[in-house]
Structures are given as structure tokens and as C-alpha cells.
Chain A
Amino acid sequence: MLFLFIIVPLVLAGLLPLLGKVSKRLLPDLLASAAMLFLLVLAVFSARPLIADGGIIQQAFWFGAPLNIRLLLDGFSLFMLFTISLVSFAVTIYSINYMEHYGAKANYYALLLAMIAGMNGLVLSGDLFTLYVFLEVAAIASYALVAFGRGHDELEASFKYLMLSAVASAFVLLSIAVIFGVTGGVSFGAVAQGLKTLNIKYVVGFCSGLFLAGFGLKAALVPFHSWLPDAHPSAPAPISAMLSGVLIKVSGVYAMTRIFLGVFGLTPALTTVLTVMGIVSIFVGALAALGQNDIKRMLAYSSISQIGYVVLAFGIGTPLGILAGLFHLFNHALFKSLLFLNAGAVEQSTGTRSLDKMGGLAKVMPLTAVTSAIGSLAIAGVPPLNGFWSKLLIIIALVQAKMHVLAALAVLGSVITLWYYLVLQHQAFFGKLNEAWQGVKEAPFWMSAATVLLALLCIVTGLAFPFVIQSWLQPAADVLGKGVGVALNFIGF
């Protein structure tokens, strides 16, 4: 059953270019949205009962015949599956209207689906090498998606992204090769088992460094972030949302967390490095965002900053820290995709991304303005929206772990966040309406539907955060909290 998460988008990705010859828009729209909805429903209703008592390994079936594919599902991967499905559903229905003027919709959806298949595979794999392969699948699709517009900016951004990303993949793979050479296996269980019996701190430290650099580049942690402010703004808006909302988290943060917490075990050295990188990312991202005039570039820098929060929280390593990190990860997926989608709506309506040229758009695009205000307030951590709670949890976790300086810095970073989101909101939506945008209209139906869905989720998650934590986050946090023990249970993999 879990295999559907990979095979459905993958098969559909293969079919869509052919179907695209028959029906240029309707069929791809319909099929892609239906597939996303199906995956979302699958994640919420079918996959959930499976982890009732801890993680499971499920053998895949292909038309009834068992395959030698074993998929790992536990609270953490289910949580990521849910996040991926949710954001990609919103992004897909948004694309129905947005991608009209790009053309080649079938191809676009095929790439999007391939990316989702890659991410789902990554999340469900219980093996370092398989994780790497699916990481590459998602990455290759994302290179093409960033360059989808084929303008100079897109191509340039995509090229730099690819070249840096390829280096990151090489780092990851080198590390895997060393680990393979040391332990003789690549599955989580075998690696965890092998490392437990051997006493080779320095080799493991070296591999951790390589992993951290590789996944850190995918997650865009400072100093590996440089591709993100180019790639995310250049991509079509739904893809920006997808990349910032999910991809950097799945291929960066998830992979990193899974390996460090679940396979290697968090050492004090790693805690220090992770928290320092987190804090540096928070500030570099926030300060750079402050100086941006391009709305999407500002959002992209802000992603770096927010990922910094997530990594900071995971770096603490305490149960509360992990929980806070997961919660912030989820929240960031919601509001950052929302903000990117709104930026796309504004860009489509006005033809510009420059904040200087906007102004007063709330009058002509009220829905976009409202949802964007919700997103901005949420990301800036204004109560009672979701961002407030997750940041509060992070800060509480820092204080609990006696990292008072980091806690103070995290608060300061949040103040800067509020600052530049106020700037954004003020310049784009409030104030006097720029003459040129007199005739601008509100975004079309599906685009608005996607943003409203995400905005509502921001509010609901904020109001009912105990429920969200209970039902989705706690199982995931439990898995990570158990550390290496979980991987050792899967030794028979």
C-alpha cells in the first residue's frame, strides 16, 4: 500500500507527456490534482493506522506479486508524507490557473509528480543509499522545474543550483561509501549496528561532516545556502512554494535528522555545530531578506532563516526541541508556500516582483492581501497563529536546555523576521494604490482556493495546535526521541 506513494506519481509522470498530446490542459490538470488528492487522503486515512504501535516495515506489492522492496514507515516519515501531500495538493490546484501562460502543462505536471515521487521515496526508504537515489530523483526534477520558464534568470539559477547540488550529492555519496566500507552495509539498521560495535569516532565525525555539508546544502543552511536565493525566486511560483515549502525540508532537514538522530546518534559535537549553523542561518537569512526589493527573493532568504530555526531546534536534541523543530517545519511548509503562492499571484497580476513598484494592492486584490497578511503574521510569530507556537516551543526548549544565549538570539531573529514581513506587507499591499495597478484583478479561482486553504490551515493549526501536536507531531517526535534504538529495531531489513 505504501508503495503507492511512490508508484502512483511515478507512473503518472511517465504517462502525462503522452496524455498531454491528447489533451493539453484538462486531462493533466485533472489527473495531477486527483493524484495529489489521492495521496493526501492516503496519507491521512490509510497510512495513519499503520503506525499505531510504532514504526513498521512494509513489503511492496506490484499487482499482487510481492516485490523485494521494503518501505519503512514510522511517525516521522508519516508526518513528512502528510506535509508533502498537503503542500503539493495546494500547489497543484494553484497551478491549474497559474501555469496556463507557461504552456507545456503536461510536462510540468510530470516533472512535479516525479519530484513528489522522489520525495516520497526518500521519506519511505530505510537505507542510506536508496535515500540518496531518491534525493537525486527529486533534485533532477527540481532542476528542470526551476528552469521551466527557460528565461535567462531561470536557466542561470538552475545551473548554479545543479552544480552546487551535484557537489552536495557527491559529498553525501562519499560519506555513504565510507560508511559502507566501515560497516559493510547501507541500511539504517546495519549501519547503526555496525557503528555501535566499532569505536571510530573520528571516521564517524568525518562522515557526519560530509553529510552535514551535503544535506546542509540541500537544506540551504549558511554557508551552503547561496543557490537558494537564486533558484527559489526564479522558479514558477508553485514550484517556489514546493521547493521552499517541502523540498529543502525533505531532502535537507529530514535526511539530516533521520541520519544524525536515528542512525549515528546525536553527539555533543554535532549539537554544537547544528545549533551554531542554525543561529547563523537565522541571522544571515533574516538580515539579507531585510535588504531585498524583489518579493520572492525576500521570501527565499526568509526560508534560509526559518530553516535555521528548524535545524536549531533539532540540534538541541531534547524531546521538546525535536517536537518544536517538527512543528516549525510543518508550519513553515504551510506559510512559506502560502506566501510564495501569493507572491506568484501578485506577479501574475502586476507583472512585477519589485516591492517598490507595488503598493496598495489590498484594494484590488483583497483576498491575496488578507491571506498574505495571515501568512506574514504567522511566519513572524504573532499569536495565536501557528508560527507563534512553534517559535515559542523552540525558545522554551532552548531555555530548558540551558542555552540562554541562543534563546535570546532566536527571539532577536524573530524580531527581525517581523520587521521585514511588515516591510513586505506594507510595501506590497497597503498604502496608496499605485496608478498602474488600477485595473488589476484578484487572482483566479483555483489560485485563490489554494491560498485560502493554506491560510485557513495556518489559522487552524494555530488555534488547535494541541490537537496537531497530539495527532501528528508526537508520534514523529517519539521516533526521533528514541534515537538510534529505532534503527536497531529494523536490523532485519
Chain B
Amino acid sequence: MNNLWILNMGFVALLVGIGLYCLLTMKNTVKLLIGIEIIAKGVTLALVASGYARENLMVAQSLAITVIVVDVAVIATALALIININRHTKSLDVRKLTKLKG
């Protein structure tokens, strides 16, 4: 099953890659968060695929579930931050967040 693992990992790389592309080029903070989500998807896929390849699927699934739960907490915090920021700047533009510099 090694080939399937490589195929999966290839798609993981693509997902992470487009996630990073989103983070690098997009301006909307919510969009950035979606980029993070896509990276997280890639990572979950990587874990399950690795478990499948090593016939260690049960451990892999529990790891994946943990990742998902942690991810929810991160996303919730991030969205709370974004809503708070929106109250201050009346905008979702990440480029307006450049007050701290130097």
C-alpha cells in the first residue's frame, strides 16, 4: 500500500501548499482562517493516511480526532479575535493590522 500512501501524501502537500498560498496572498482575515483550515485538513489526511499505510489505523483515527478537536478550539479563538478586531477597525483587511511594527 506504499503507493497509496505516497499518493495521499502528495495531495497533503498540495493542500498545505494552497493553504499557505492563501495565507500569503489573501487579505481577508476570514479567508486566512479558511487557509488555516485547509492546511489542517491536509494534516488530518496525512495522519490517517500514515495510519492506513502502517496498518495502525485505530491510533491514527484517535490522533486525527484529537487534531480536529484542537483545531476547533483554535478556530473558535481566532474567530473571536476576528470579531473583536472587526469592532475596532470596522474591517476584515489584514493589511490594516500594521500598527505594531519596527
Contacts and interface: CB of A to CB of B under 8 A. Distances in A.
Question: Would A and B touch once assembled, by the CB under 8 A criterion?
Answer: yes
B42 to A, nearest CB: 8
B81 A133 contact: no
A136 B97 CA distance: 24
Contacts of A151: 88
Interface string A146-186: 01001111011111101100110110011011101100111
A234 interface: yes
B67 A173 contact: yes
A442 interface: no
B66 A170 contact: no
A170 B81 contact: no
B78 A162 contact: yes
Contacts of A166: 36, 39, 74, 78
A159 B20 contact: no
Contacts of B56: 180, 184-185
A163 B23 contact: yes
Tell me whether chain B's interface is mostly helix, strand or loop, or mixed. helix
Contacts of A163: 23, 32, 36, 78
A204 interface: no
Contact of A181 (B5, B36, B73): B5
Interface in B55-74: 56, 59-60, 63, 66-67, 70, 73-74
Interface residues of A, number: 41
Contact of A156 (B12, B60, B74, B99): B99
Contacts of A177: 12, 43, 46-47, 49-50
Contact of B100 (A143, A176, A230): A230
Given A147-B81, A181-B50, A181-B54, A129 B63 contact: yes
A164 B84 CA distance: 19
Contacts of A233: 100
A152 B78 contact: no
A136 B74 contact: yes
Contacts of B88: 151-152, 155
A151 B91 CA distance: 15
A168 to B, nearest CB: 11
A156 B97 contact: yes
B99 A152 contact: yes
A181 B49 contact: yes
A178 B50 contact: yes
Contacts of A180: 47, 50-51, 54, 56, 60, 63
A340 to B, nearest CB: 17
Given A140-B74, A167-B39, A158 B81 contact: yes
A144 interface: yes
Interface string B15-50: 010011001000001001000100110110011011
A144 B77 contact: yes
Most buried by A among B40, B70, B74, B81: B81
Contacts of A184: 54, 56
A153 B66 contact: no
B62 to A, nearest CB: 9
Nearest to A129: B63
Most buried by A among B51, B60, B66, B84: B84
Given A162-B74, A166-B74, A173 B84 contact: no
B50 to A, nearest CB: 3
A157 B101 CA distance: 10
Contacts of B9: 178, 181
B66 A133 contact: yes
Contacts of A167: 20, 23, 36, 39
B87 to A, nearest CB: 9
Contacts of A181: 5, 9, 46, 49-51, 53-54
Nearest to B46: A177
Nearest to B43: A173
A470 to B, nearest CB: 40
Nearest to A231: B100
Contacts of B60: 180
Contact of B73 (A136, A147, A158): A136
Contacts of A160: 97, 100
A286 to B, nearest CB: 16
Contacts of B85: 152, 155-156, 159
Nearest to A293: B102
Closest 3 CB pairs of A and B: A181-B50, A177-B46, A184-B54
8 contacts: A133-B70, A136-B70, A155-B81, A169-B74, A170-B40, A174-B12, A174-B42, A230-B100
Interface of B: 5, 9, 12, 16, 19-20, 23, 29, 32, 36, 39-40, 42-43, 46-47, 49-51, 53-54, 56, 59-60, 63, 66-67, 70, 73-74, 77-78, 81-82, 84-85, 88-89, 97, 99-100, 102
Given A136-B74, A170-B16, A176-B47, 8 more contacts: A140-B70, A143-B77, A150-B84, A155-B85, A158-B81, A167-B23, A181-B50, A186-B59
